[in-house]
Amino acid sequence: MLDDYAAVIPPKPQSRKGKVSLLGYFRLFKKDILSAQPSRLYRAWMAEMRTPFFRSYLCNDPELVDLVLKKRPSDFPKSERIRVGLKPLLGESVFISNGALWARQRRIIDPAFESGRINKAFPAMWDSGMAAVDRLMPLADGRAVEIEAQTSHVAMDVIFRTLFSVSIEHEVADGAFQAFREHQAAQPVANIAALLPLPKWIPRRHSRQTRDTARTIRGLIGQLIAQRAQAIANGKAPDDLATKIMTTADPETGERFTPDEMIDQVAIFFLAGHETSAAALSWALYLLALYPDWQDRVAAEAIAAIAPDKIYFSALSKLRDSKAVFRETMRLYSPVPMYVRKAACPETFRGRRVKRGSQVILSPWHLHRHARLWDHPDAFDPDRFETPNGKACLRSAYIPFSAGQRVCPGSAFAMAEGPLILSLLVRAFRFDIIEGDAPIPVAHLTVRSADGIRLRLTPRCPDAKKDAP
């Protein structure tokens, strides 16, 4: 089956050719992390980069990935270099914290994402998907539609509905969404200052727009949290994720999150839950437009499995093709292209000495396309996960949500939300590529297209516009 798809290869950034100076590398890195890397990383088990300021080791060996993420994660904490760039928005959130602070945060957050909560959140996901269908219907006349903007809208809508039981049209929610889009535009791909070995007491500079938009977002989140705290005190709070997290006490200390701590956590839900879902969904729609036979499969499955006037959780189990497409999309276009860790003690990787403090990089982008692991790594084929090679790689070389103790707590939510909304959209519309307008992947906060993703939409299902009750 894979050979059938090898003739059409999804877009992939061109790798750096030859060696470049350190300054040249920083310039390429700031523009796009992916194209700054040499092509050999798609075959290498490990690569070392030395600079006057730090040493980095990119690890594609599944055994090293397993060591860092699963066997000894405490010896490889999150890098301060990532923390520096994201701190204005995220504060001390679970995404960038380490040690005892991180463990406490996860003890409070994890119960909100237990399996039973997906069932409770499903109607909110459904409503967001149906609202997206309604928003897109007037645009489904064959014109070019910027898809990333649309998936960003629906993904943020899911966040607000599942967290705070309000739609994105809510005044505060809309304000936060607009500020978040401005923050995305202002946030650099990489904070080069964070790469320099400066003492912690020396402040790292961020642009005024980055600081201002982060302050606005956090202020609006604070309003929602204050309103929810009052509703909880009055016994009138809805049973959503925000209520669950705010009322959960640390089983070891009995303490709950303070308002400022809650702002930190909601901010990462906005970033991780919205940004990654939006990126994956936009690439999934593009791939279905590029491979219309797969689009027809997903559409037929959705039309058979989904009745738009009924909200029922069991529909998820029937969306097998949609789930396979979403999984393959996250292999080819992993929302988070690289995870950065720090060696807390001296190590030996594949016979090489790794000094304490060295940067350890795990790259889903390269691991998921590794030529020595995957069959036809650059080809699109959702059926690959039913093959012996695909099943083996799924266990050892597939980490779109990270793995081990720091696996994304919302991964199960994402694997419900993504296939459901993808199915609702493809059930309603046919998506077609625009010749000569292929998107080029670049790494911003997530893997997005350099100039957006534009597709043509036409209605597919006559009753797709029906609102869910």
CATH number of the domain bearing residue 219? 1.10.630.10
pLDDT of residue 193: 46
Q: Is 464 inside a domain boundary?
A: no
Q: Can you tell me the mean pLDDT for 355-366?
A: 94
Give me the domain span that covers residue 276.
2-459
Number of domains present in the structure of the chain: 1
To 10 degrees, the CA torsion angle through 380, 382, 386, 391?
A: 70
Residues 268/90, Cβ–Cβ less than 8 Å: yes
Q: Is 305 inside a domain boundary?
A: yes
Q: Is 410 inside a domain boundary?
A: yes
Q: Can you tell me the mean pLDDT for 418-434?
A: 97
Residue predicted with more confidence, 198 or 270: 270
pLDDT of residue 55: 84
Q: Does the pLDDT of residue 310 top 80, yes or no? A: no
Q: Is 87 inside a domain boundary?
A: yes
Measured CA to CA, the distance from residue 166 to residue 48 in angstroms comes to 47
Q: Is 468 inside a domain boundary?
A: no
Q: Is 465 inside a domain boundary?
A: no
Provide the b/e sequence for 218-244 (b: ≥16 CB within 10 Å): bebbbebbeebbebeeeeebeebbbbb
What's the predicted TM-score (pTM) here?
A: 0.91
Q: Is 469 inside a domain boundary?
A: no
Q: Does the pLDDT of residue 251 top 90, yes or no? A: yes
Measured CA to CA, the distance from residue 186 to residue 172 in angstroms comes to 21
Q: Is 234 inside a domain boundary?
A: yes
Top mean pLDDT of 4-8, 135-139, 407-411 is at: 135-139
